[in-house]
Structure 1
Amino acid sequence: MFDPRLAVASLSGESDAEWAKRAAPFVGGAFLGGIALDEPTREAASALVDRDRTEFLPPDPIGFIDGQLATLDDVDIVPAFNVRSVTLDSVTEAAAVCADHDALLELNAHCRQDEMCAAGAGETLLRDGDRLSEQVAAAADAGATVSVKLRTEVEGVDLPALAERLVDTGAAVLHVDAMDSEAAVADVAAAAPEAFLIANNGVRDRETAHEYLGYGADAVSVGRPSDDPAVLRRVREAVGEWAGDATREVSPDA
């Protein structure tokens, strides 16, 4: 999917094309966003801004995705856009734009903010496998390579079973926030071996990267410290070591 098997995936409203460019010397992939696509999720994002959270709220979210990805067309990374939606039409539109730029579309079934969940997005989708599968199918039918951002430790959700279902529906990538249940990554890997599995949460160094890779993850992603070159360099070296790739070194100027 991408090489090196390290991605950046930071906070909504902060993960834009310029952020991805800064990370590019260290990583193989960058997950931009998240961005609210439709009116229910945009209203939720506005409410988040009202309580001092950072959000992308451009007048034209589809145009924003297109412009951001165009900025990365010549950058040597695989870009992805994390999106939040409760309507299939907006997912289809965003997926078509991502496909045009050879980018992944990532469906957000991860956000646990009250406003976004009340709108029917984020973690609410994680609890509703039917609706989430419909979004996966719509995005795949529009030509996009589909990723789904998931989280562990959600009561009532059989994550391995859901992962298998999502892959059967068209998801190629599963991006799992392990929370405090790192070993759960192994269960997802066993249930959905066809997926490219990215493990997230607490990835900072050789120890944390190798733990997730040892559980069967194909790659890891760095979240909050994604703008820290020292962290990215450490993790880049760790995934290279795991892969036996000692020849691809990060430029000392990066």
Structure 2
Amino acid sequence: MFEPRVALASLSGEADATWARAGSEYAGMAFLGGIALDPASREAARELVARERSEFLPDDPLAFVDAQLSALDDAPIHAGFNVRSATVGPIRDAADICADHDAVVEVNAHCRQDELCAVGCGESLLRDTDRLADYVATAAESGATVSVKLRTEVEGVDLVETARRVEAAGTDVLHVDAMDSEEMVAAVVDATDCFVVANNGVRDRETVREYLGYGADAVSVGRPSDDPRVLERVRDATVEWFASPA
């Protein structure tokens, strides 16, 4: 799907086109965002900003998605956009824009901030699989490649069953934040035919080999995604792994 099999993971308020270009020497994919799309998710994002978190809050979020992806149309990196919405309509709108740019639309079922979960965004979607599957199916209708950003260790959530449901709804990519349950990557790999990107603590050869050893198709780097030293180590370890005859 992309080479090298290293992705830059979205960082709210930071992961934009400039950030993606800066990492393009080391990664084959950049997930921009996350971006709040509808009134409820945008109000939640404003509340996050009020307590000093960084968030993208452009006047027109869909125009922002389009402009950021346009800025990467000629970049040597594949782009995706991580999106949040309390309603399904804007998911389709964002997916249409991503499809126009041959970009991935990534449904955020990952963020755990109380403000976002209270309006039905982020990891609250993991507890409402029907709604998450509806988001995925709606995005897939656009023709865009669809990713879902998931996290492990959410109480009451069977992540393997969730992965199966969203795959059936049209997901192409499962972006799994393993938290402290790295072995769950293997369970998701075994349960689906999706392209699996493993995330959390990817910093060096050891962590790369652990996740790829669990069967992940790629790894992603979050917080240190602006550190060339980390990215170079991760890229080199990933290339080495897939170049091995074993």
Pairwise TM-score range, normalised by the shorter structure: over 0.9
- Percentage of pairs with the same residue: 65
In the TM superposition, residue 222 of structure 1 has moved relative to its aligned partner by 0.3
Match of 1:197 in 2: 196
Which 4+ stretches in 1 moved above 6 angstroms? Answer: none
CA separation in 2, counterparts of 1:169 and 1:123?
Answer: 18
How many residues in Structure 1 have an aligned counterpart in Structure 2? Answer: 245
Q: What corresponds to 2:17 in structure 1?
A: 17
Q: Deviation at 1:78?
A: 1.0
Q: CA deviation at 1:142?
A: 1.5
User: Could you state the TM-score of these two structures normalised by the residue count of structure 1?
Assistant: 0.95
Partner of 1:76: 76
Partner of 2:60: 60
Q: Distance in 2 between matches of 1:10 and 1:133?
A: 21
How far apart are the structure 1 equivalents of 2:106 and 2:181?
Answer: 22
Measured in 1, the distance between the counterparts of 2:51 and 2:137 equals 34
Q: CA deviation at 1:67?
A: 0.2
CA distance in 1, matches of 2:56, 2:10: 13
1:214 equivalenced with 2:213 (yes/no): yes
Q: CA deviation at 1:75?
A: 0.6
Partner of 1:250: none
State the alpha-carbon separation in 1 of the partners of residues 234 and 134 from structure 2.
35
Query: How far did 1:10 drift?
Result: 3.8
Name 1:150's counterpart in structure 2: 150
1:134-149 to 2 correspondence within 5 Å?
134-149=134-149
Alignment correspondent of 1:234: 233
One-letter amino acid of the structure 1 residue matched with residue 190 of structure 2: A
Inter-partner Cα distance in structure 1 for 2:11 and 2:95: 21
What CA deviation, in whole Å up to 9, does each residue of 1:142-187 have, x standing for no partner? 1211000000001111101110111111000000000001011000
TM-score norm. by structure 2 comes to 0.98
Residue equivalent to 1:249: none
Retained in 2: the 8 A contact 1:10–1:226? Answer: no
Question: Which whole-Å CA distance do the structure 2 matches of 1:102 and 1:10 have between them?
Answer: 18
Take 2:31 and 2:66, find their aligned partners in 1: how far apart are those partners? 14
Q: Give the distance between the partners of 2:95 and 2:8, measured in 1 at CA.
A: 20
Which digits, 9 at most, give the CA deviation of each residue in 1:181-227, with x for residues without a partner? Answer: 101100000011x1000000000000000100000100000000000
CA contact (8 A) 2:10 2:30 kept: no
* Counterpart position of 2:85: 85
Unaligned runs of 5+ in 2: none
Q: CA RMSD in A?
A: 1.0
